[in-house]
Structure 1
């Protein structure tokens, strides 16, 4: 059973979901060698909110873990500050800590996907004592290499072809284009990010294109990996909130880039696990050449690197749900056995 809860952190309301562990799967009392193994915090990306984990949460709880799934600020039912500086690494890490503190979770396993992976790695850098282990999905590290901030670099790329990073950072443009088109946009972007389409083909569209013009037409739902009912939930949430809050994460990329410069020469000291899919566009287009060979430059203690065996694009936890759950559980089993609570 899921509990929806809220905590206020310095005037920003944060919504999160909690699932208690299935005590039948843990033989001993909490804190014993045979008791529940700990707490997992699931951090989503865009265009998502806590619901993206709705398939995974009961699986982890059944394995004996307590699960916390926040709505990151700007998304879902959490508040959306208007100042891009409110989305800096320090602010969003403090959000994670506030949720953990509200639940009495001192040291947690953090799972991060998309923007959530950046929050997970920032938490490892800024508050390593609060993170027992980190599991990254698709995004292996958040680089600060080079001398050009990301928004400037995106603007230069967008002079040659459509680039969603640049499109999203133009104030008011995407919000106006996508208003009333929430379901169409979500359906088309989910399809484009999947293994059934090569996402980087959107770059073939000329500068000045809208995202809807650049995205492919999607086949009608339901798909093999996504249902009409799930899209109904996504559509209802984004029709309610609009896209202004979520897009602050893109508009704050320079804020985050400059903040991460403070620890760009430091590796993540927390035990690191990584899951990826072979058709992920982020690995192909946004982390440089052969990013998997560079994990040691960013993480001190690389414990596992595992690929999803079934075909999947960026949304592997939706496209290849059973495989993703199996690999996540393998990582968590290693953490329970080898990483002190």
Structure 2
């Protein structure tokens, strides 16, 4: 479900109005008031369905309308209407702005509906949006921007020029200067009209005692939440992409990047410049050495290194073997 604190519905709109020139199956007059993922879509929601695999299961939900490839239309038997297209994700992305939109900042520097508890400090030039909630003893740095509906816990510090939107922030969190929390992540779909940004309609959840370093970015989820667990510490200039789930006590050094929908378990340590591919799982208490490029799941407790990353001992053996081969080749060339 789209969080109404951060997004507002624009409907209702009929399926015919949303896709006037499209190929529509089912009830074209069915009204749509919201958007959701295919797995969670309700009777008033618009979704898209791009099943994978050779024998995909039918869609279990009953959305108001489903954007789907014509060859797969039989996999959405409960949908009120079908919008048929070869590029469901791109068409869905183009339709969403007619159904819901993010809530915008108002003209007031501190919106009258914002709720600030006792002892909140607001720096010069800071902006606080409608219905934001800020806990006792929190501080908002100069020129920081707190978006509509954002909740910030007690004693949390938001640094100068930081931006926080579409987010729920716990107690005793420290977000350093220039950090950007809750912006749209990188998702692009294409059709005959060209590339289009895929809307991100989720949130960011930052639990208690987390630190987010200066100029780091944590993107909101596409539909689900991006979550940063308790006591996690993220260095400067890091990036956590949409839908990532970071556990408790994760330590991330500077310049690390975690691609979308990756799960990082409790107690993981990442050295500087670590890069993790999307949809990976990093096991509990694993260690990723500096510069590691991770394209596979990493089992719990293991130490991985290299490009591409692999278990440390294997990487060291391969590096030693390569060094010997290179030395031998040099000797033969003398």
TM-score normalised to the size of structure 2?
Answer: 0.21
Please say which structure displays the higher CA radius of gyration. 2
Q: Which has the higher helix share?
A: 1
TM-score normalised to the size of structure 1?
Answer: 0.21
Q: Which has the higher strand share?
A: 2
